[in-house]
Structure 1
Amino acid sequence: MFLHEMSEEQRLELSAVEERFRQNGWNLDTVSELLHSGTWASPEVSADLERDGVELGCDLYFDDRYGVITLETSARRRQFQVYCTASLLPLVDWLTTYQRQLSPTDFARQLHALISTCDRVFYLTAEKRYLLEVNSSFDDFT
């Protein structure tokens, strides 16, 4: 997406998202600089955080209203696609809250809170994506 294609609401949301990530110590690719220069960028925000051998990453796509979360350890990589039609801020808020207790073994319990605040959450594999619900079994994610 180009900056001039974003609505005022999307530009404000982009600014708020980048600020929240920065305030919480995330490494942030300065995608807004690309957008301001007239360069097309997708995702519009790309952020990551690494702590104690666990990496948490997020790519946000403002046009399609979703984010891709990646949780990676030396043993395993998990990806989730999260749709938040009204605003991507609940996803960012969840990520910055979850980062305080960044643990792959606790991820499933924390994911329940995210599912209830967003439109749809999918677990991504190389072959398929699986729709997750609050009552879904999360045994495979721990």
Structure 2
Amino acid sequence: MAKTAAKAVKPKPARGKIASKAAKPKPAGAPKRATPKAKKPAVQYADIRRDLQRQRADLLKEAGIIVTKRNEFEPFPDLSDQATAEMDQNFSLRLKEREQKLLKKIDEALDRITTRTYGICERCEQKIPYK
């Protein structure tokens, strides 16, 4: 068997920033592109923080009104009136539970803004786009 001669290998042209700058020089007066700067999370989410704090204050104010309006259980001479009062009281308690859960979620969101983890998915840790 005869050996064949090796092919001559041509050097490849350089790639990357160095080659592109050499190939395409920029004119001296060309304006530079402004790189968009990402806002800091504390500044970026300031409007969300303000809205959450307002909601929190409203919830606490409403809870204070409900507590002051609520009278101790009064016995009613009519059983239907007593049953209606108990239903109203149970309804108020369910509303309070919902408000407490909402208040807890608001506090957690405010904590995430403070610790700069707001806007990051808790499950997959991917950044959630700010809209």
TM range (shorter): under 0.3
Higher strand proportion (structure 1 or 2): 1
TM-score, normalised to structure 2, is: 0.25
Please, what TM-score do these two structures have when normalized by structure 1? 0.23
Higher normalized contact order (CA 8 Å, seq sep 6+, divided by chain length): 2
Q: Flag the structure with higher helix content.
A: 2
Compare CA radii of gyration and give the structure with the larger one.
2
